[in-house]
Amino acid sequence: MTAPPPDGMTTINCIECGAGLNVLGGGRVLVHVCGYCGAELDAQDNYAVLRQFLEMKRPDTPFSLGMEGEIEGVRFTIIGTIGRTEAYGLQRWFWVEHQVFSPTHGYAWLTWEENRVVFTRKIRQVPEPSRITNVAIEHSERRPVAWLGRDRFTYYDSGASEICFVEGEFNWVPKFDDRDRYVSLLSDGRMLDIVSRGRETEYEISVLLDRDAIFTSFGVDGADIPAPSGIHPLEPFQRAPLMRFARDTALLFAGVCLILSFLLWGDEPLLDTGVVPIKSLSAQSFEVTKPDNLVEIEIAANVNNSWAVFEAELIDANGEAVAGFERGVEFYQGHDGGDYWTEGTNIATTRLRLPEGAYKLQVKLTEAKVDWRGGRLATQVQIKVAQGVHTLWWLWVLTAVFVLTGGGFLLERYWYEYRRWAGGDWDDD
């Protein structure tokens, strides 16, 4: 344990420039960097000058030394400010880390980046695996994964940052020439960082804070600070309970409609003439035993580049005509520019509701014509009758509507997660 500052000490004078500096950080502070001259003072050796950071450009941050506020129900004081930078290719990123101190909860970090506030604490628990090397990342076919207890963290990005500004008190000794190498892994709402500084490896957990609440607690006037844009990786997808209910209901109803359509699919054949010459067509008998469902009459003819019209009449057991209809079939085919095409159908169907009883069906050809090259008049016909037929198109329409509705919710989630992970450096290729 290092010795705390003398009792009652709240300010010191910089040994280098004489500026008054507040003492805020408790007994584990190792160094105090003067914000006026950049002198690094040894807090464990009567604030002797260790080194001096010159020509430092103060980073843009709404927080300053001495501010106090509540983070996750704990009172913290900002005791130090570090500006960090990272470069990759032609890109360069800047962010600010504020060391904060609580007499009851120790030291932590408040990070200001892209107009957002992130809270970071070091943890003693060691993840499995404890280290993920660049070689492992480059040769892995899937995103590397680390476990912290039962929590799964998935690789997000990695890199190395450098200090470009330092001011205030710290429980470690910052150096401009040090590079902190990190591997960041992400879960829903938490980020695990494996940080290597020299030969030491530390583990940190970060969470995104409510910016407005932090501003209010620390007394920051955020009126002129732009709102953050885009989606932060620590912002997990959230859906209102009503929207979750709508999604689940839509997918449930889609499944119900699909199951119903399968259950109602099928019919009971009553008549099948097979393929017979049109000239030999005669009245065909069948009996309806399921009057609650539709009866389907299908007429198929071997038209080819031609059309034909059939007239049908239904007669009941008393010899009375109960229904009559006329149906046409046509089918065309050919080649156009080397592509084969077809048009029309050689099958005509009619659905009607019939009372229970015996019936005779009389079908005859009334018109036929060839109106395309290579055509052939219909010479054969096949007649089928089935009962227990259901109209399923409305179920299919409802299934499609519910699938699109529920799928829209799922697509929204997928698109959000895609953008949440887009800032990482993992390439699936």
Q: pLDDT at residue 203 above 90?
A: yes
Burial class (CB in 10 A: 0-12, 13-18, 19+), 399: buried
Q: pLDDT at residue 111 above 60?
A: yes
Q: pLDDT at residue 4 above 60?
A: no
- Across the chain, how many H-helices and E-strands are there? 4, 25
- How far is the C-alpha of 35 from the C-alpha of 52, rounded, in Å? 11
The three-class DSSP label of residue 44 is coil
Q: pLDDT at residue 51 above 80?
A: no
- How far is the C-alpha of 410 from the C-alpha of 402, rounded, in Å? 12
pLDDT at 307: 96
Looking up tokens 């970060």 gives: 206
- How far is the C-alpha of 78 from the C-alpha of 61, rounded, in Å? 12
Interval 352-411: pLDDT, tens: 999 999 999 999 999 999 988 889 999 999 999 999 888 778 888 998 999 999 889 889
Q: 68 and 218 in contact (C-beta within 8 Å)?
A: yes
Close Cβ partners of 159 (under 8 Å, ≥ 6 residues apart) = 86, 88, 181, 182, 425
Name which of 32, 43, 158 is nearest 99 in CA terms: 32
Give the pLDDT band of residue 325 (cuts 50, 70, 90): very high
- How far is the C-alpha of 295 from the C-alpha of 292, rounded, in Å? 10
Q: For residue 216, give both structure tokens.
A: 């209010």
Interval 218-233: pLDDT, tens: 999 988 899 999 899 9
Phi, psi of 83, deg, nearest 5: -95, 135
pLDDT at 6: 47
- 277 preceded by a cis bond (ω within 30 of 0): no
pLDDT at 82: 94
Interval 372-384: pLDDT, tens: 888 999 999 999 9
- How far is the C-alpha of 361 from the C-alpha of 312, rounded, in Å? 7
- Average of per-residue pLDDT values in the chain: 89
The alpha carbons of the chain give a radius of gyration, in whole angstroms, of 40
The three-class DSSP label of residue 134 is helix
pTM assigned to the model: 0.68
Q: How many other C-beta atoms lie within 10 A of the C-beta of residue 136?
A: 13
